[in-house]
Structure 1
């Protein structure tokens, strides 16, 4: 049986770390693409040479052009300018809209049947760009945000309670950023609601830290943004699709009436399988959660309106 083909666009910290993680899992053969001459070839060769030590047989190719990416099953777009201290995700909008537009145009030509996973920021808006430019069906355009946000929420809860992250099931909705909606009601530790284990005031602080998780790392690194956790989140998505796991995971997907949201990409629980977003998993929200989600969706809508203007739509 032919191996699956996974292309990673952007060989910076996220793309290179993602390539290493995917190679080690042997989920498919990889193409690592970047516009910087020879750099993706060097990183690809380095990862390939780790194979004999780690015991994987993944083939990985570095490339500067799209010919090598032809007929990819999954394409992960990480390219774009990363956040710098003091820079909001919104500040990135104009530059990264142009970059993601160009990448998507090329991928739509060379891999018309691919599933696209978007990592570039501002995440919700860039997923919208890829959808508008590719004209792919909505199930084949997925944004990586919720798994990362849920992982951060889980990590902070684990630190607070001193329990294994394996016992924590965190639940996150909404846009990727300041208006995300970490749901304390549906977040559980070994089946017990987190609200019963952490006082509300302290829980509110943990929720706020989760919302600002990306900015916290940007401010600490000073010269870049997070890449270890984001790349791990993408691996979970790729594996769920290629193994047809039908795994429920928080991802950025196009809502068409679900949760009362129309024609917007926002973070919702989805079922991930071989077709991409197999379905959006709807759960009952209380009034507070619904209001917070609608607020988050409205912020995403404002960004998408700016994108429409930039794209001339």
Structure 2
């Protein structure tokens, strides 16, 4: 019997994620969206690709959550997207309301699932979904660090003209302009990046990584990135469904790790069948710890805005 994955949101990120997971072949997929007939049309198109790509996995679309019942993993991409000139913070309250409503439906129909939020502003939305769900922290963790790290690795591989497979890196902290690429832990074929390029060039790539999402928004004019985000989501889903025990950066609810308590922030975690099975604590320098605390403070500001909105509702 195949696993079941629900993707909430049939926009570019959600639909591309559903396509990638369906193509893997070992999970049936349900795509949910409020727009009438949109998820049904996209899922039927994907289903008809099955004979060509060689998968018997099912993919269905729905405007409700009944078809999603008893999902193993639910990916939440629903929300409005960033537009040029719009910060992630601008999205906050609208997407808070959307993700709260979605989470209520997800919990009702799939009470034992693992939830992977993707909606921006990511860290605040993970916090909102975690609190709204009532699930243990092991079953709610967000996708951002895998994407940010992939961007960093891409830029490094291009700069050095080496395979992306040989570039290893971590990006911690919030999914925004104050994310924390860990240069000290970044290697190419096991060689520290500091041995391979000048400090000024490393700093340039760090800046580009922090602005990676905005760079794509500016180029597209309308909409935001979805090919790389959907690949990152799929890697996390696969780690759970296949119990891979992957060590990946994800937005997790911290309970004292890294000196942060009661806040969802990007850190290395172990992902397996139990969800977020372990927070991996690595030793940081004083400068790295200060940067992570600064990034967490930015997330805390958004959480406080949401708390004020709830209190005033």
Deviations 1:142-194 (A, max 9, x none): 10000000000000001100000000001111000111000110011000111
Query: Are the equivalent residues in 2 in contact too, given 1:27–1:239 (CA < 8 A)?
Result: no
Moved over 4 A (4+): none
Distance in 2, Cα, partners of 1:293 & 1:128: 17
Match of 2:195 in 1: 196
Gaps of 5+ in 2: none
Match of 2:127 in 1: 128
- Structure 2 residue 90 is the aligned partner of structure 1 residue 91: yes
3-state SS of paired residue (1:36): coil
Distance in 1, Cα, partners of 2:30 & 2:122: 22
Match of 1:268 in 2: 267
Distance in 1, Cα, partners of 2:174 & 2:197: 25
Match of 1:221 in 2: 220
3-state SS of paired residue (2:223): coil
- Structure 2 residue 166 is the aligned partner of structure 1 residue 167: yes
Distance in 2, Cα, partners of 1:111 & 1:285: 38
TM-score scaled by length of structure 1: 0.99
Cα RMSD (Å)? 0.8
How far the C-alpha of 1:219 sits from its partner, in A, is 0.4
How far the C-alpha of 1:27 sits from its partner, in A, is 3.0
Match of 1:55 in 2: 54
Distance in 1, Cα, partners of 2:255 & 2:143: 19
Deviations 1:53-106 (A, max 9, x none): 111111001000011111111000000000000000000001100100000011
TM-score scaled by length of structure 2: 0.99
Q: Describe how 1:63-82 pairs up with structure 2 within 5 A.
A: 63-82=62-81
How far the C-alpha of 1:11 sits from its partner, in A, is 0.2
Distance in 1, Cα, partners of 2:68 & 2:53: 25
How far the C-alpha of 1:310 sits from its partner, in A, is 2.1
Count of residues in correspondence between the two structures? 312
How far the C-alpha of 1:236 sits from its partner, in A, is 0.5
- Structure 2 residue 45 is the aligned partner of structure 1 residue 43: no
Gaps of 5+ in 1: none
3-state SS of paired residue (1:142): coil
Match of 1:257 in 2: 256
